[in-house]
Amino acid sequence: MRIALVVERFEECAGGGEQIVWNVARELRRAGDEVHVVARRGVATPGVTLHRLRVPAFWQPLRVSSFAMLAGRELRGAGFDVVHSYSRTLHQDLFHAGGGSHADSMLKTYGEAGTRARRLSPRHALLLALERRIFADPSQTIECVSEMVRSQIAERFAVPRERLTLLHYGVDVERFEPERNAAAGRRLRDELRAADATVWLFAGSGWRRKGLDTALAALAGAESRNTHLWVAGGDTVKPWQERATRLGLAERVRFLGSRSDMESLYAAADGLLLPTRYDAFGLVCLEAAASGIPVVTCESAGASELMHKAGVVVKRADDIAAFSGALDRLSDAGLRETLGAEGLRVAREKSWVHHVEGLRAIYRRISR
């Protein structure tokens, strides 16, 4: 097939959606498809034709709207079998709802009052308008990364279920293979002086939405004083350090910043803690599972629907007592090992090869 992937940035290891598109392009190329990428910023890679668009980058609303308009011009009449967009553009056959519904994300993150205030900002107003147009267009198929997202879009936007196709993310099972990373994990534990502690990893940026306040409160409420938390990702550190100190956790919480060695961090940790208020999927859950460690998360992470036998899934993101209880329950190393083994089985069925096989089946339906 002749496939066009649309994404603002096409770069390996840029993180998040960019890495996902890079992986998809690689596997489509291996499957023998002709792959084109339309991006405002990108790195050329063998076997992929890159179409760079000149888009202003200094103000997000202008950048997003310009990219949507110019991508439409670039694709018009180009004769692709399928146009698959990972950005909020308007002229595609398949839209990847990787962030879920922006309206639901705002509501879960900021509440009713906060959402009403933010609807006045140009950034949020534009994203919401683009979202409404995409979901209202009957010619577009919507790729949902979790059943949670599929249900939310169907309910909020009255999108017929036949337009909503479910495809979970994949994971690089070789990169996160536990045996491959065991030695690096041991070195990291020694480096961070956590040899005897039970270490929980909190991974991601945008810590309020990800629920770092709940994670810290849960750690403070756990019975074991030898339970530690490592925080990896980008955000403003100082207010969170002050919060940890107020909770008496200064010696048990480490802020590690953004890391390129996540496979080593998973190997060094005893589990992943993600009390997120909203994650359409939460790829870190699948990465942790691929690393053989248990996951403690909640139902507002789309990936939780895969994690019920691979950890603990709490119903509500703000249920501090339930998260504390999960940390206490998983202080048992034998239970962590059992749950980690189940997570590893789940992850091995969710490789990027499996993901792209599912994606190509969707492409075939669309192109017919």
Distance CA(90)–CA(140), nearest Å, equals: 9
Cβ atoms of residues 265 and 188 within 8 Å: yes
Domain 2-170+351-367 has CATH 3.40.50.1820: no
Distance CA(279)–CA(269), nearest Å, equals: 22
Q: What is the mean pLDDT of residues 52-77?
A: 94
Predicted TM-score of the model (pTM): 0.93
pLDDT at 44: 86
Q: Which CATH superfamily is domain 178-348 in?
A: Glycogen Phosphorylase B; (3.40.50.2000)
Cβ atoms of residues 36 and 6 within 8 Å: no
Helical ranges in the chain per DSSP H:
16-30, 60-75, 102-118, 122-136, 147-157, 178-191, 207-210, 212-221, 238-246, 262-268, 283-290, 320-329, 333-348, 352-367
> Do 2-170+351-367 and 178-348 show the same overall fold?
yes
Mean pLDDT, all residues of the chain:
95
Listed by start position, the domains of the chain span 2-170+351-367, 178-348
Task: Enter the tokens of residue 74.
Answer: 């670039």
pLDDT above 80 (res 16): no
pLDDT above 90 (res 57): no
- Please, what is the Cα angle at 294 between 176 and 272, to 5 degrees? 75
pLDDT, tens digit, 9 for 90 and up, residues 253-265: 999 999 989 999 9
Cβ atoms of residues 87 and 6 within 8 Å: yes
Cβ atoms of residues 105 and 123 within 8 Å: no
